[in-house]
Amino acid sequence: MGQRRVSAGIVVIGDEILSGRTQDINVQQIAQFLTPLGVSVREVRIVADVTAAIGEAVNTLRERCDYVFTTGGIGPTHDDITADAIAEAFGCEIGVRDDARAILERWYEKTGTEITEARLRMARIPHGASLIENPVTGAPGFQIANVFVMAGVPKIVRGMLEDVAPRIEGGAVTYSVSVRLENVREGDIAAELGELQERYEDVSIGSYPWFEDEGEKGLRRGIVLIARSTDKDVLDTLKSQFQAFETS
């Protein structure tokens, strides 16, 4: 494990997320998977089921980040265009591949399911890609260069990440501490917090207000202070400093 900073981009592909019908939870799932590996998510893009939109997002982020993860659009239906869009983005060929087809055949044999032409679409893999195992429904994802192409269903993403983990070369792991303060407002401590950030310039310090409506009892409020760093000792110091805000 080196001490360099390793970054990732995420491309969420799906009209259902953009329309607000479905709440995405893969961004959080992938970010929480990457943190202990020493990889920080740098940017996320959520794009429609449109070839050009997918290609632009993937090509930008694969230049900019060490790794890119995509979710969505690798099923058997007409709106599943991710594999073809990725092939186009990389300028490479795509077709039904024997290894992917064999996985589908074995999977469907167990369940007595007919392999239709539509299902064979899920064996379309760009040339040069390696497969990502799907323990939930069989149909594989794939890795091409630094881009990991996964399903959209969160359960499948979780399974695919297990297969992806050994392929990730992480950097220094970023740790975090958080302190939740009640009846403290950002404006009360902003100056001192800014001074802490200046003193510990290698630490990322964030402040996030919270509100809870307790009906007749009124509104409770406070802030959560978070510090992130690769240095655990510094985080211990900052945790004490954060806690001191509540009693000061």
- Closer residue to a copy of itself (CB): 92 or 231: 231
| 243 lines the binding site for a copy of itself (CB under 8 A) | no
Residues 103-142 that bind a copy of itself (CB under 8 A): 113, 116-119, 121-122, 136-137
Q: Which of 51, 59, 146, 204 binds a copy of itself (CB under 8 A)?
A: 204
Closest contact distance (angstroms) between CB of 213 and a copy of itself is 8
Residue 40 identity (one-letter amino acid) = S
| 190 lines the binding site for a copy of itself (CB under 8 A) | yes
C-alpha distance across the termini of the chain, in Å: 41
- For the purposes of burial, counting CB atoms within 10 Å of the CB of 5, is it exposed (0-12), middle (13-18) or buried (19 or more)? middle
Single out the segment in contact with a copy of itself by CB under 8 A; choices: 9-17, 140-148, 165-173, 230-238. 9-17
CA Rg, the chain, in Å?
22
Which sign does the torsion angle of CA 90, 96, 101, 107 carry?
A: positive
Residues 211-240 that bind a copy of itself (CB under 8 A): 211, 213, 226, 228
Q: At what angle do helices 26-34 and 154-164 cross, to 10 degrees?
A: 20
Closest contact distance (angstroms) between CB of 1 and a copy of itself is 19
- Closer residue to a copy of itself (CB): 77 or 247: 77
Residues 70-99 that bind a copy of itself (CB under 8 A): 75-79
Residue 136 CA to residue 107 CA, distance in Å, equals: 10
| Residue of 113, 110, 114, 112 lying closest to 135 (CA atoms) | 110
Closest contact distance (angstroms) between CB of 119 and a copy of itself is 4
